[in-house]
Structure 1
């Protein structure tokens, strides 16, 4: 070996050492470090090596996009709205499926040439195992929000790429893909990373809600409380007060599985069986949401929740909810 050359493992080790000392947002640091470890140990990727993405043919893209047709239909309006908000910051909007394949893009025309060079285009596959640490691939792998600033991507060829990504969940609480904001200007957006990430999560929750309302059209949609992450705790109930569907956050909060939801549990009965304060707050959110949906009509609300009028009044009194 030439004395001026380093082995791949030495290069990767030096790269990881540099990256571990690079300042990153505290929230993301564990996920990014785990991704770097996978790039080095599991994927054996050389960070100094250039990368050419696999890009699907027209026929292949038509096939995979048809599988995500509902996601595309629900997301495109929100993507355009988000792009208008962030365009002035030099950010583009990307939508990917659960396999990290880019399905759609909203980008300024001045960025199109760089997008082609970096494969930020429809049909390009950004799986973490081949692309290394990146917004779309790592977000899908970790199923959590990701922010990558200058130098946070594994490959050096992405050194000026900044990326924000959040996972998207479908109406059954399963991973549907990822929503990504990408910038080609290094660290210029880092001071606003928390704000950009929060805006992106809000867009992700809006897409999830659209998917959920479309799937359970005709059922009453209630919330179990405020959204605190990438998913809103929404449930769908029928006219008998039985749960017919629940989002990713609602399933996590209640511990529901697909089989449990298929048995159509009564929502208030489920909440009433739990003694934790968080469930009391969830019950209050459900009742307030149902009352609002019925314009304050207690009888109609009780019927929609599948309980008697007397029971609802008792719960309202205990929770200090006025009619």
Structure 2
């Protein structure tokens, strides 16, 4: 933005907020209102991005460690995909504190000045409307493009962010790709949004598999969210874990899991015929190899004899 546009930005925000219907019509205006009325921020604030102490950053990193470890190869691949376009990649915790980053050394000084650096606080409470803070506040993917930001000092940025959830389906952080390029087009931002979304789901999937390393992981849900809708199933075919996508698709709660939830009940409702056929084939092969001995087939599959009988009855064998 030029100097004149910078000067007009605060007035534009205040006009949008003063329009009673504005926040109802626009998610951006609703975020602007939160920034000003709930968090007490001023759009013309020219200060630097807020940074937490080294101790607070260390605590945030320790709390995020399992997810951060799962994210490392994904962050590398995402940066390889977007780094040449002048973007940096930021991973934050659920409070919007940047805990990890990927960026080109030639752009480091620029992004450091913007505050796109480990230890920076990008919550809405600190920075107003921005990709990271707004995605976390609204629990949804967002792109905040240039003058959609609340603070005038951030209107040179384009930020695309997806929330990330832990192995229990809880909001754990956010994955962001930010650019300071003035020529970022809608097509470019759309491609970046797709890449960030795929990367966020890959991080969630890897973290889930790490958390339930000893369980059988199965796909669930409809075709649109199969890549992220995962169940962790124990030796007795009871669900012991579910990703957020699976929880939403199949109405799974912690209480239902604690009450011993059979995976077959969920897969049946999801019409996941391919998984049931795969299970039927595995049981038939085990029975064939054991000469029809149910106890031996159960041992081969790593389940109890009672569980094996339940499987056979459910599969019509």
Q: TM-score, normalised by structure 1?
A: 0.80
CA contact (8 A) 2:220 2:231 kept: yes
Inter-CA distance 226–71: structure 2 relative to 1 (3 Å threshold): same
Alpha-carbon distance between aligned partners in 2 of 1:296 and 1:90, rounded to the nearest angstrom = 55
Alignment of 1:128-167 (within 5 A): 128-167=124-163
Higher alpha-carbon Rg:
2
Q: Where does residue 243 of structure 2 map in the other structure? A: 247
C-alpha displacement of 1:187 = 4.4
Inter-CA distance 248–167: structure 2 relative to 1 (3 Å threshold): same
Q: Where does residue 290 of structure 2 map in the other structure? A: none
Q: Paired residue for 2:32, among 26, 32, 36?
A: 36
Instruction: Work out whether 1:287 is the aligned partner of 2:287.
Output: no
For residues 259-291 of structure 1, the C-alpha deviation after alignment (integer angstroms, 9 at most, x for no partner) is: 21122211113454x5xxxx22xx325436757
CA contact (8 A) 1:12 1:46 kept: no
Instruction: Work out whether 1:211 is the aligned partner of 2:200.
Output: no
Alpha-carbon distance between aligned partners in 2 of 1:252 and 1:147, rounded to the nearest angstrom = 23
Q: Where does residue 118 of structure 1 map in the other structure? A: 114
Alpha-carbon distance between aligned partners in 2 of 1:287 and 1:233, rounded to the nearest angstrom = 17
C-alpha displacement of 1:208 = 0.4
CA contact (8 A) 1:128 1:137 kept: yes
Gaps of 5+ in 1: 1-5, 22-28, 315-323
C-alpha displacement of 1:119 = 1.1
Over aligned residues, Cα RMSD in angstroms? 3.2
Gaps of 5+ in 2: 1-6, 288-296
Answer 1 or 2: which has greater helix percent.
2
Alpha-carbon distance between aligned partners in 2 of 1:297 and 1:37, rounded to the nearest angstrom = 62
For residues 150-205 of structure 1, the C-alpha deviation after alignment (integer angstroms, 9 at most, x for no partner) is: 21111111111000000001000001100000001134142222222111111111
State how many pairs are aligned.
292
